[in-house]
Structure 1
């Protein structure tokens, strides 16, 4: 955690920036690099009866770290993607509640303390 779900950007492209991106994002989040997952989805977009190119969109699923960290995270992510020659993309954050997160059926966080 965080998990980046990427649409409209090829896995090969994301692979080129994945190491430096994750290192920078881990520093911003103050966590280890092995906490990150990048999933690149193969999508087919349609508009007005035709198949069209998928607009670059990255969803970040994470535990909230505050507005300042979120802003730095989004800026870093956008800069790395722009370095691939992709001039614009959208980034959206989905925040998990700690008391609703389980691994192997076990609650990860003690919400009663």
Structure 2
């Protein structure tokens, strides 16, 4: 935890930036590195009936850490992904209630 799902960028780009992105987030969030999961999701964007390029779309599922930490995490993710020349990067946070998150049958 946190779980980060990424779509709309090339797999090789995500691989290149993954270590530094997790380094940044580990420092901001102050949780162990092995708590993070980073998932690449292949997707196809459609606009007006045609395949379109789309843009990076990053979802972060985590336990709420407050607005300041969230802002810093969004900025760090955006900065890393924009290095590939993307004009727009979308980062969405979903707060998971600890009592609804189970690991090995036990909630937090």
TM > 0.5 between the two?
Answer: yes
Q: Give the distance between the partners of 1:46 and 1:52, measured in 2 at CA.
A: 5
* Other structure's SS at 1:60 match: strand
Residue 49 (structure 1) shift: 1.6
CA distance in 2, matches of 1:71, 1:103: 27
CA distance in 2, matches of 1:84, 1:55: 11
Flag structure 2 segments of 5+ consecutive residues without an equivalent: none
Match of 2:16 in 1: 16
Q: Deviations over 1:34-83 (max 9, x none)?
A: 11111111111212121111221111110000001001000111111111
Q: Which runs of 4+ in 1 moved over 4 A?
A: none
Q: Partners in 2 of 1:27 and 1:10 — Cα distance?
A: 25
Q: Distance in 2 between matches of 1:21 and 1:5?
A: 13
Range with greater deviation from structure 2 (24-33 or 82-91) = 82-91
Bigger Cα Rg: 1
Determine if contact 1:10/1:40 at 8 Å carries over to the other structure: no
TM-score, length-scaled by structure 2? 0.93
Residue 84 of structure 1: SS of its match in structure 2? coil
- TM-score under structure 1 normalisation? 0.89
Q: Which residue of 2 aligns with 1:97?
A: 97
Question: 1:77 aligns to what?
Answer: 77
CA apart distance, 1:86? 1.8
After TM superposition, the structure 1 stretch with the greater mean CA deviation from structure 2, 94-103 or 48-57, is 48-57
Distance 1:84 1:48 in 2: 26
Task: Give the aligned length.
Answer: 108
